[in-house]
Structure 1
Amino acid sequence: MESRTKREKNIKISNKWMIVIAVLSLLFIIFFAVFFLGFNKKYYVIEINGVHAGMVKNKETAQKLMNNARKELGKETDSLVLVDIHVNVREKRSLFGGIENEEAIEERISQMMSSHIIKQRERAYTVKINEFTVNLRSSQEVLELLSAAKNKYDVDNQFDVELVLDPTRELNVLTTKVVNIEEREAKEAAAVMKSAGVGEAVALIEEEIEMATTPEDYDLGLQSLDFGDTVEVVEAYVEEGQVTTLSEAIELVTKEQEKNKIYEVVSGDTLSQIAEKNETTIDKIVALNENIENKDSVIRAGDEIIVTIPEPELAVVRREEIYYEENYNAQVQYIDNDSWYTTETVVKQEPVAGYRKVVAQVNYRNEEAVEREIIYEDVTVEAVPKVVERGTKVPPSYIKPLSGGRFTSGFKFRWGRMHKGVDWACPIGTAIKASSSGTVTKAGWGSGYGYVVYINHDDGRQTRYGHLSKILVKTGQRVNQGDKIALSGNTGRSTGPHVHFEILINGSQVNPLDYMN
């Protein structure tokens, strides 16, 4: 009995231990599972400038919340907002804690961005005209600016300015298109009529329009208008303070300022005439052109010189048909005389002005008329032309290099060899002059020439003056025809006091007498 009781007691103790072991095992399994699973579940922590902003389940959610916060910040202003933040999204495994409410995280991110705003850029439209740029607040202001430039010459508001995509550019760059309002409306009406089947009737009416035969038949006034400079317009964000008011922009674009342009010299031009034509001064022309030394510098037809003209930033080009009455002169009639030099002319008949009524098409750039074509002319009094007889022979362009002197030797064989110039005997010290204008290329000793001067001329020729006693010019010096350059002498290989004179073309001596007056 006692033995059985003892055995039962041992069984109870054993059962208790088994229960304890089972409970401990279960607790261990639960703890291990929680620990293992907790540290293997990933979260993503969003940090802005090192400060915790929230924890989300994946990177995509983090990016979505950042984008939403940026959009909310942008809704508060029409400007481009720049913020100084560093965003870090890092992976984290955690037993405690978890995913936070997305709306709360987004609000927190937005507040953190707002506290780190460093700069706002304003939305603007940048207008570029050549090298000039100006920023305006809207495309409407751009159109008003361009219209202000147009309206100076379009007083009846016949034309309208449109902004269109520039087909030559890959990016979204706008440019200008100036359209005739009446023509645009006519095209729109024609399109409507065509759809209604009345296009053929309109074509027949147009065919019946007669040619203009009197000034009253012409549609006088502004015919076409456009901008003379390329205009580019782009949408951009600029720093605060860089947007110009519309009134200031109009002042900048339409106000006339001095600009450089190239003027081609025509026959008969002088510096004073060129200055007057271009509303500038001779001093300004000299300052702008290195090759023009002073007001007395020689200019030739075909020369290109820089002049300044008053012109706005945006030029307007237009064509007008105008009517006027005027006295006019007939074209000069010439009678050629092959036995005269071109410097010789005789007026055979004096001109008498005529009178006419004119309709002309005139092309303007701003205020300047650049081209004129007469499309109608009614001559009431015929002009009598001026008749001039003129020579056709090219005159010699070189003068004798001294006054007086006795001609002693010509361009010919002499003493068994060619004498490649001409000589004049004269007392030592006689003034020697430049035969034509040019630049001194040598002034010094020249072996058999003795003291000699070489001058290169504008026509590509060269003259030489030998056997001199004293030289009065220096190499590189510019001289004019008739300037004193030296004194005659008896230096070098010389048989007596005289001056030796040569003309060279392409490096070879020619007979000077063929080229001298």
Structure 2
Amino acid sequence: MKFSGHKKIRIGMLKGEILAIAVWIILILPIFSPIKNTGDNIFTVFLNGVEVGTLGSKQAAEKCLREARRQLSSGSDELILTDAELSLKGSEVLLGKVDSRKSVRNKMVEVLDKSRLSTLERSYTVKINQYSVNLASKDDVFTLLSKALGKYDTEGKYKVDLVTDPSREVNVLTSQIVSVEEAQKEEEETRLPEAGIDLAISDVFRKIKPLIEEKSFEDYQLGLMSIDFGDKVEVVESYLPSSEIKDINTAIDEVTKDQETNQIYEIKTGDTLGTIAEDFGLPLDDLIAMNETIDSENSTIRAGDEIIVTVPEPELSVVYTTQQYYEEDYEADVIYRDNDSWYTTRTEVVQEPSAGHRKVVAKISYVNNSETGRDIQKEEVTYEAVPKIVERGTIVPPTYIKPISGGRQTSGFGRRNAPTKGASTFHKGVDWATPVGTAVMASNAGVVTRAGWGRGYGYVIYISHSDGRETRYGHLSKILVKPGQSVSQGQKIALSGNTGVSTGAHLHFEILINGAQVNPLNYLN
């Protein structure tokens, strides 16, 4: 009995040893690297200087890092930037314990999360000319563009789509304005295509040409006819820091509200600085300040000159056409009758105008709030306008030139202190000091009516001109023409001198209109 019990104990111990060896083989042995004399065969893994575990190869460590990156960014639209410096310390062992890849990967995720440099959020950049704005989502892009469009499409007849820009190689979206009604029709046609007898009937009606009849005012569709953005819109997907992404309400204000923009304006006949400032809604002082060539409100401006003005415009312009019915008083075009015996400076009103009245349907084009064109579709005159009739001359009036070259003006036209005894206190011409013997030319073509001594004038010449004016040249030293002689403009008629009532060598020059002296400087070309 004793022997038998001893034998049972030994058998039980043997079974226990076998079971322990089996457990060791199944559970313990796999975590030890096999003995190989090939150099480093086990690696301690560090990420950003932090130990994250032990693995059997460099490839296993790199795979764990890739998986950790994916795990960190999964389930988010954000683009996470983080430091990720992987380093390994290898050694050669007979038996070595390695960690599971899952354990190493989880520790790597913790290290990467603590080492974030920044988080870049998925966003959309909208570019309009030189302006750009970053928005948080595509929905914000649609909201922004729809608000810009809705400012002028108050009934919501059109909508904004984003389509790929075929002119760009990179993936850039651009805006496309679509009629809501037409889009619905196309969708219905696609969903329920015509077939059989319905298709045949539709083809027949398409081929029938409608009778052309004059439309009544009620036949015209009124309201918004077409609309589009006046500037190219480009949209690209991007990843940006949240600090660079704008709130949608701020973006709407920037894009749709008017901004002051400098423009060049060409001055037209009849413009004044005051009317230009008023037309553009500018204070006159601001208009003067932005133009270096304008010194004050009294500065001279001429038709054709260009000046800077500021025009309020939104960042994103909208171009659209509306069809409108209206009634208005209107003026007929002025009728001109040419008179070949009058100078162009003479006009006379033969008939005074009277306004007419009409009913109109017109297509009116706009850029933002500014009208750019008007095309009348139908017009019905209630009563005709009476045109203004103006008779005008066709002969270009003669011009007058300074009668000498050079010279220094010593006395102007008008009141003065008498320079010498016998001289007038009201000077009826203009004096230029010039040496005796200077050539004197006819200021304009005409006929000499007097050439000789003229008391205070000394030697003097009178010339009568075709426009009824007369010129006089006084204090001459020598006369080169005779009364009745015709002279051309610029022809030498005398030499200057110091004769008559004179204080020194000079030329006295007068222009008379209807027998009365006027300021010659106002008429010299």
In the TM superposition, what are the counterparts of 1:449-468 in structure 2 within 5 Å?
none
Distance 1:87 1:516, change over 3 A: same
- Equivalent residue for 1:47? 46
Q: Following TM superposition, by how much is the alpha carbon of 1:58 offset from its aligned partner in structure 2, in angstroms?
A: 4.9
Aligned to 2:173: 174
Letter in 2 for 1:300: R
Residue pair 2:140, 2:248 contacting (<8 A) in 1 also: yes
Aligned partner of 2:278 in structure 1 is: 276
Deviates more, 1:394-403 or 1:159-168: 394-403
Task: Answer with 397-406 or 292-301: which moved more.
Answer: 397-406
Give the secondary-structure state (helix, strand or coil) at the position aligned to 2:149.
helix
Q: CA RMSD in A?
A: 3.8
* Partner-residue secondary structure (3-state), 1:267: coil
Stretch deviating more after TM superposition (301-310 or 42-51): 42-51
Q: Distance in 2 between matches of 1:489 and 1:47?
A: 110
Letter of the 1:251 counterpart: D
Amino acid at match of 2:149: K
Shift of 1:157: 1.1
Q: Is the 8 A contact 2:79 2:122 kept in 1?
A: yes
- The residue aligned with 2:182 is 183
* Residue 391 of structure 2: aligned partner: 389
Residue 303 of structure 1: aligned partner: 305
The Cα of 1:405 is off from its aligned counterpart by 4.1
CA distance in 1, matches of 2:380, 2:443: 62
How much does 1:169 deviate? 2.0
| Cα 1:40/1:302, change in 2 over 3 Å | same
Is 1:123 aligned to 2:122, yes or no?
A: yes
- Contact between 2:50 and 2:111, CA under 8 Å: does it hold in 1? no
CA drift at 1:189: 4.0
Once the two structures are TM-superposed, the CA of residue 392 in structure 1 deviates from its matched residue by 3.2
How far did residue 421 of structure 1 move?
A: 8.1
Alpha-carbon distance between aligned partners in 2 of 1:240 and 1:93, rounded to the nearest angstrom: 48
2:507 is matched with 498
In structure 1, the residue matched to 2:293 is 291
Instruction: Assess if the C-alpha contact under 8 Å between 1:78 and 1:122 holds in 2.
Output: yes
Identity, % of aligned positions = 42
Matched ranges for 1:154-169 at <5 A: 154-169=153-168
The verdict on how the C-alpha distance between 1:36 and 1:422 changes in structure 2, with shifts beyond 3 A counting, is same
- Displacement of 1:387 after TM fit? 1.0
The residue that corresponds to 2:486 in the other structure is: none
What CA distance in whole angstroms lies between the structure 1 residues aligned with 2:92 and 2:295? Answer: 85
**Paired amino acid for 1:379:** V
Q: What is the CA distance between 1:35 and its match in structure 2? A: 12
SS in 2 for 1:38: coil
What stretches of structure 2 of length at least 5 have no aligned partner? 1-32, 403-408, 414-427, 445-453, 458-495, 497-501, 511-519
Secondary structure of residue in 1 paired with 2:61: helix
Structure 2: distance between partners of 1:35 and 1:359: 95
User: 2:347 and 2:67 mapped to 1: Cα distance?
Assistant: 90
C-alpha displacement of 1:188 = 3.7
One-letter amino acid matched to 1:277: D
Q: Which amino acid aligns with 2:507?
A: H
After superposition, residues 214-253 of structure 1 pair within 5 angstroms as 214-253=216-255
Decide whether the 8 Å contact of 1:38 with 1:94 is kept in 2. Answer: no
Tell me: CA distance 1:92–1:372, structure 2 relative to 1, closer, same or farther (3 Å).
farther
Aligned partners of 2:34 and 2:95 also within 8 Å: no
Of 328, 342, 345, 1:343 maps to 345
SS at match of 1:292: coil
Q: Distance in 2 between matches of 1:361 and 1:149?
A: 22
CA distance in 2 between partners of 1:397 and 1:97 (Å): 114
| Whole-Å separation in 2 of the counterparts to 1:385 and 1:365 | 33
Q: Residue 241 of structure 1: SS of its match in structure 2?
A: helix
- 1:160 Cα shift? 0.6
The answer to whether the Cα contact below 8 Å between 1:489 and 1:498 also exists between their aligned partners in 2 is: no
Question: How has the CA–CA distance of structure 1 residues 36 and 286 changed in structure 2, closer, same or farther, with 3 Å as cutoff?
Answer: same
**Deviation of 1:219 (Å):** 0.7
Aligned equivalent of 1:65: 64
Q: Distance in 2 between matches of 1:384 and 1:238?
A: 68
Deviating more after overlay: 358-367 vs 134-143: 134-143
The 5 Å alignment of 1:6-155 reads 37-40=36-39, 46-56=45-55, 58-75=57-74, 77-88=76-87, 97=96, 100-155=99-154
Code of the aligned partner of 1:107: N
Change in 2 beyond 3 A, CA 1:94/1:186: same
Query: CA 1:136/1:96 → structure 2, altered by over 3 Å: closer, same or farther?
Result: same
| Change beyond 3 A, Cα 1:203–1:385 | farther
**In the TM superposition, what are the counterparts of 1:421-440 in structure 2 within 5 Å?**
none
Q: Distance in 2 between matches of 1:306 and 1:375?
A: 36
Q: Residue in 2 aligned with 1:504?
A: none
Contact map agreement 2:159 2:179 (CA 8 A) in 1:
yes
| Contact preservation (8 Å) 1:325, 1:355 | yes
Deviations 1:54-76 (A, max 9, x none): 45455544333222111111126
SS in 2 for 1:123: strand
Instruction: Say if 1:418 and 1:95 are closer, same or farther in 2 by CA, change over 3 A.
Output: farther
Are 2:42 and 2:96, in contact at CA under 8 Å, matched by a contact in 1? no
TM-aligned CA distance change 1:93 to 1:194, over 3 Å:
same
User: Contact 2:323–2:361 (CA<8 Å) still a contact in 1?
Assistant: yes
1:364 aligns with 2:373: no
The amino acid of 2:148's aligned partner reads: A
Q: Distance in 1 between matches of 2:90 and 2:235?
A: 47
**Aligned amino acid, residue 256 of structure 1:** D
Q: Is the 8 A contact 2:266 2:305 kept in 1?
A: yes
Residues 129 and 232 in structure 1, CA contact (< 8 A), matched pair in contact too: yes
Match of residue 329, structure 1, among 328, 331, 340: 331
Spell out, residue by residue over 1:383-427, the C-alpha distance to the aligned partner (whole angstroms, 9 max, x if none): 11111122334446768685334899xxxxx98x9767869x999
User: Separation in 2 of the partners of 1:35 and 1:352?
Assistant: 113
Per-residue CA deviations over 1:457-516 (Å, capped at 9, x if unaligned) read xxxxxxxxxx9xxxxxxxxxxxxxxxxxxxx996xxxxx223799xxxxxxxxxx99x84
Tell me by how many angstroms 1:201 deviates. Answer: 4.2
The alpha-carbon distance between structure 1 residues 60 and 396, as it changes in their structure 2 partners (threshold 3 A), is: farther
Q: TM-score under structure 1 normalisation?
A: 0.68
Partners in 1 of 2:386 and 2:100 — Cα distance?
Answer: 101
> Does the 8 Å CA contact 1:39/1:95 hold for their aligned counterparts?
no
Aligned-partner Cα distance in 2 for 1:133–1:81: 24
SS of the equivalent of 1:237 reads strand
Q: Matched residues in 1 for 2:266 and 2:58: separation?
A: 70
Q: Distance in 1 between the 2:139 and 2:221 partners?
A: 32
Q: Is the 8 A contact 2:431 2:506 kept in 1?
A: no
Determine helix, strand or coil for the equivalent of 1:219: coil
Query: Is 1:193–1:199's contact at 8 Å kept on the other side of the alignment?
Result: no
Distance in 1 (CA, whole Å) between partners of 2:42 and 2:110 is: 23
CA distance in 2: counterparts of 1:61 and 1:188, whole angstroms: 54
